[in-house]
């Protein structure tokens, strides 16, 4: 007998950050400092007693919109076979097609899609990585949370050294300030402090124009960086492609794209050496796997953005050696922790994502919707 989805629950949870976070978008006046992350959780139950947990998220704005869209489309899942994930993605998409097939709409779908994959792996008694087919049992990782622009240089150096001592493999520094000399000073200080052997990345968060990006990329060549991330607007594929062709330092971008189709256009332009898809942003694991297949075919390296609790599984299944971004921000939401050793994250072996929501996550929940009610 076919198992069927019997209940769907969505929750809107707001995760407070310990300190206001500033990157280049704040220093250029385009955004305010980030103080919380809006999480959208989806929990799916079946008639046979199986369950799956998925999530999406939004920073600074969009959390209420994601939750509202998820409430509207959630009922179409009830009565369906949870194994038919690709078909259910299409059904969810068409249920809300009038608002488009990217952006907030697909981010709401992402929470359901992740929950369905989590459920499927649990039913198989496998971790998500094993269900997809792993190429490795650990993945290189780098820390971003210690390198934001609000951090003074001495603290920046201390944060970087502490991350390496903890076993994290690389350090990413935010750049893109109005005064580029400050960016150079900060990168040079950390490179000198850590030495030449430690992998360092930089991220301009889309805040340079083309002449500034060329100038800064040329200067940064001396620091032997793993990549320069988002030097230009996320949709300036031609500009990114020109930088990737001109400089030895790889160009990384893709985190702001919100569909597989947008990533396909980026790849067609050869606009990145490192592709940085974000599974919740593109609509979940189903479209992420399409992006990964395109990236592999194009010979690109992979470094998924944020949400290490999910992306560790997806990166483990990518044929070429990837990087995963270490952010401890989401840890209070879950009872489990990812183990880090010798510069790498160990892929969890628990069934599914290997995650359960913490009591703290329940406490930060502001709204819930269940169907049937």
Each domain of the chain, given as residue ranges in start order, spans 5-125+359-368, 129-346
Q: Residue 314 in 3-state DSSP?
A: helix
Q: What is the pLDDT of residue 1?
A: 67
Q: Residue 150 in 3-state DSSP?
A: coil
Question: What backbone torsions phi and psi does residue 136 show, to the nearest 5 degrees?
Answer: -165, 160
* Given 71, 122, 172, 174, the catalytic residue: 174
In angstroms, how far is CA 115 from the centroid of its own chain?
16
**Strand partners of residue 141:** 324
Distances (CA, A) of 130 to 43, 137, 151: 22, 9, 39
**Strand partners of residue 40:** 12, 56
Residues 6+ apart with CB under 8 A from 165: none
5-125+359-368 has CATH 3.40.50.2300 classification: no
pLDDT digits (tens, 9 = 90+) for 153-208: 999 999 999 999 999 999 999 999 999 999 999 999 999 999 999 999 999 999 99
Laid out side by side, the sheet with 51-59 consists of 51-59, 34-46, 5-21, 365-371
Q: Give catalytic status of residue 174 as yes or no.
A: yes
Picking from 151, 163, 5, the residue whose alpha carbon sits closest to that of residue 75 is 5
Gap between the Cα atoms of 278 and 284, Å rounded: 8
Q: Give me the architecture of the 129-346 domain, per CATH.
A: Alpha-Beta Barrel (3.20)
Ranges under pLDDT 70 in the chain: 1
How many CB atoms sit inside 10 A of residue 238's CB? 12
Q: Are 274 and 300 spatial neighbours (Cβ–Cβ below 8 Å)?
A: yes
Gap between the Cα atoms of 42 and 29, Å rounded: 34
Q: Are 348 and 312 spatial neighbours (Cβ–Cβ below 8 Å)?
A: yes
Degrees to nearest 5, angle at CA 204 with 241 and 217: 55
Picking from 227, 56, 208, 241, the residue whose alpha carbon sits closest to that of residue 144 is 227
* Given 122, 305, 313, 326, the catalytic residue: 305
List, as one string, the DSSP characters of 57-97: EEESS-HHHHHHHHHHHGGGGTTS-TT-HHHHHHHHHHHTG
Gap between the Cα atoms of 300 and 272, Å rounded: 8
Gap between the Cα atoms of 258 and 18, Å rounded: 28
Expressed in percent and rounded to 5, the helix, strand and coil fractions of the chain are 40, 20, 35
Question: What backbone torsions phi and psi does residue 101 show, to the nearest 5 degrees?
Answer: -115, 30
Q: Give catalytic status of residue 4 as yes or no.
A: no
Picking from 116, 49, 67, the residue whose alpha carbon sits closest to that of residue 87 is 116
List, as one string, the DSSP characters of 167-219: T--EEEEE---SSHHHHHHHHHHHHHHH-TTS-EEEE-TT---HHHHHHHHHH
**Strand partners of residue 13:** 39, 365
Gap between the Cα atoms of 301 and 316, Å rounded: 13
pTM value?
0.95
List, as one string, the DSSP characters of 223-266: G--S-EE--S-TT-HHHHHHHHHH-SSPEEE-TT--SHHHHHHH
């Amino acid at each position: 007998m076919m198992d069927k989805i019997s209940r769907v629950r969505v929750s809107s949870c707001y995760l407070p950050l310990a300190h206001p976070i500033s990157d280049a978008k704040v220093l250029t006046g385009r955004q305010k400092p980030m103080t919380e992350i809006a999480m959208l959780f989806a929990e799916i139950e079946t008639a046979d007693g199986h369950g799956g947990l998925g999530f999406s998220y939004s920073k600074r704005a969009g959390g209420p919109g994601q939750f509202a869209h998820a409430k509207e489309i959630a009922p179409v899942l009830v009565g369906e076979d949870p194994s038919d994930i690709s078909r259910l993605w299409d059904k969810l998409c068409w249920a809300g097609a009038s608002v488009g097939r990217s952006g907030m709409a697909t981010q709401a779908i992402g929470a359901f899609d992740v929950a369905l994959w989590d459920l499927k792996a649990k039913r198989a008694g496998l971790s998500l990585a094993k269900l997809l087919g792993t190429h490795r049992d650990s993945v290189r990782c780098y820390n971003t949370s210690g390198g934001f622009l609000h951090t003074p240089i001495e603290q920046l150096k201390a944060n970087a050294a502490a991350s390496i001592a903890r076993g994290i493999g690389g350090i990413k520094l935010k750049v893109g300030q109005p005064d580029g000399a400050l960016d150079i000073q900060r990168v040079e200080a950390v490179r000198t402090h850590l030495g030449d052997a430690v992998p360092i990345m930089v991220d301009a968060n889309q805040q340079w124009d083309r002449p500034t990006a060329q100038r800064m990329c040329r200067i940064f060549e001396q620091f032997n960086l793993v990549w320069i991330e988002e030097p230009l607007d996320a949709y300036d594929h031609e500009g990114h492609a020109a930088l990737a062709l001109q400089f030895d330092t790889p160009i990384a971008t893709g985190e702001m794209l919100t569909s597989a189709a947008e990533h396909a256009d980026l790849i067609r332009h050869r606009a990145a050496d490192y592709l940085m898809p974000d599974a919740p942003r593109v609509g979940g694991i189903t479209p992420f796997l399409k992006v990964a297949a395109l990236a592999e075919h194009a010979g690109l390296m992979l470094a998924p953005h944020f949400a290490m609790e999910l992306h560790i599984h997806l990166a483990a299944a990518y044929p070429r050696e990837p990087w995963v971004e270490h952010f401890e921000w989401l840890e209070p939401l879950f009872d489990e922790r990812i183990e880090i050793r010798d510069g790498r994250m160990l892929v969890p072996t628990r069934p599914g994502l290997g995650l359960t929501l913490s009591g703290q996550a329940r406490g930060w929940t502001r709204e819930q919707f269940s169907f049937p009610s």
